[in-house]
């Protein structure tokens, strides 16, 4: 936990995330039954058990707060404060024994008079990776921390030298355009990683392991905590066109605040069909390799 910093909401929530993380780590080590929400969208006993525990703990600690959970919890959404809960972000990884997943809790302040379809202000968040015992905590105006140490976004200012992260949908992949973005950004960057947890991708952008992250078709529980981590670490979080980030946005672009303009320009060109690199045939690829080897 951060020392000498009073985090009113994040510190109590961190205790909840640690408990939920220990629970899902135990499930992971024992193995759990897996079900399918749709053709390829997984859910496990661990997701539901973790959400039940988190909801019980948050109600006990913050009885006046609402809760919006991935696994179906919709409690008191008219309240001034609302938690967005992802009890196990990275369920597909978890179900396949790939040890990259986390618990994510983000808190939104929705003062009186705000319309139901408008965002409030993100004011606190926690992301906990139980397999690496890494706890990311943040509170608006008070900084972001990894295992008690304040963290900052990277200083890389050139896309060509940047490492980025992205994700792909668990269903209807053929309808998702991200493979084209993956292709173009891979060619123009130092690399792109796809680890399978949006919350961790955002946390890694916040602490400087990644220089940027983008993805289509996310939900508020995926991004609420991670977006605030990035912002409090000195980064930026927007839409692909640079517009303000919204919790119900179907797209998110997070950067270290140094490469955002370059990435936004690239996205603008891609949507307009400008400056796209053709995919080489295997013969063209082999010829280029042979030429480089001379």
Any idea what the CATH number is for the domain that residue 252 is in?
3.40.190.80
In angstroms, rounded to a whole number, what is the distance separating the alpha carbons of residues 211 and 155?
A: 8
Residues 188 and 80 placed together within one structural domain of the fold:
no
| pLDDT at position 116 | 80
Q: Is residue 283 part of a domain?
A: no
pLDDT for the residue numbered 26:
92
Q: In the chain, how many domains are there?
A: 2
Flag whether 70 is marked binding. yes
170 and 128 in one domain? Answer: no
Q: What is the reported pTM?
A: 0.90
User: What's the confidence (pLDDT) of residue 40?
Assistant: 45
Q: Does residue 137 share a domain with residue 168?
A: no
CA distance linking residue 209 with residue 218, whole number of Å? 21
The per-residue pLDDT for range 33-90, each reduced to its tens digit, is 665 555 545 678 889 999 999 999 999 999 999 999 998 899 999 999 999 999 999 9
Residues 6+ apart with CB under 8 A from 149: none
**Would you say residue 118 lies in a domain?**
yes
Please tell me the predicted confidence (pLDDT) of residue 38. Answer: 52
pLDDT of residue 181: 92
The response to whether 275 counts as a known ligand-binding position is no
Q: Which domain holds residue 25?
A: 9-151
Residues 231, 18: Cα–Cα separation, whole Å: 23
**Domain-embedded: residue 67:** yes
Domain boundary at 119, 151, 183, which? 151
pLDDT at 221: 97
222 is in an annotated binding site: yes
86 is in an annotated binding site: yes
116 & 188 share domain:
no
Contact 90, 200 (CB under 8 A): yes
Asked if 103 and 26 sit in the same domain, the reply is yes
Q: Which residues contact 105 (CB under 8 A, 6 or more apart)?
A: 13, 16, 17, 54, 58, 83, 84, 85, 86, 125, 126, 127, 225
- Kindly give the parts of the chain with pLDDT less than 70: 1, 3-6, 32-42, 170-176, 278-280, 282, 285, 293-294
Question: Cβ(284)–Cβ(290) under 8 Å?
Answer: no
Domain match, 133 and 265 both? no
For residue 73, give the CATH number of its domain.
3.30.540.10
- In this structure, the answer to whether residues 31 and 130 fall within a common structural domain is yes
């Amino acid at each position: 936990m951060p020392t000498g910093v009073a985090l009113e909401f994040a510190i109590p929530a961190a205790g909840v995330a640690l408990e939920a993380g220990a629970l899902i780590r135990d499930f992971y080590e024992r193995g759990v039954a897996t079900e399918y929400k749709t053709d390829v969208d997984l859910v496990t006993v661990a997701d539901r058990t973790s959400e039940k525990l988190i909801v019980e703990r948050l109600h006990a600690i913050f009885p006046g707060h609402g809760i919006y959970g991935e696994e179906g919890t919709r409690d008191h959404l008219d309240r001034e404060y609302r938690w967005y809960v992802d009890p196990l972000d990275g369920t597909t990884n978890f179900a396949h024994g790939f040890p990259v997943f986390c618990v994510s809790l983000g808190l939104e302040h929705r003062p009186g008079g705000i319309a139901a379809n408008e965002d409030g202000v993100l004011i606190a968040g926690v992301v906990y990776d139980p397999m690496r015992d890494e706890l990311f905590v943040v509170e608006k105006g008070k900084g972001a921390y990894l295992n008690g140490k304040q963290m900052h976004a990277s200083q890389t200012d050139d896309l060509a030298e940047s490492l980025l992260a992205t994700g792909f949908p668990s269903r209807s992949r053929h309808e998702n355009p991200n493979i084209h973005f993956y292709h173009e950004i891979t060619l123009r960057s130092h690399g792109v990683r796809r680890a399978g947890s949006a919350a961790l991708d955002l946390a890694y952008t916040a602490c400087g392991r990644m220089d940027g992250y983008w993805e289509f078709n996310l939900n508020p529980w995926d991004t609420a905590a991670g977006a605030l981590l990035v912002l409090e670490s000195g980064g930026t979080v927007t839409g692909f066109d640079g517009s303000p980030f919204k919790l119900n946005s179907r797209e998110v672009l997070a950067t270290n605040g140094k490469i955002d303009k370059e990435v936004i320009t690239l996205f603008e060109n891609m949507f307009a069909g400008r400056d796209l690199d053709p995919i080489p045939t295997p013969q063209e690829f082999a010829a280029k390799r042979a030429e480089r080897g001379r």
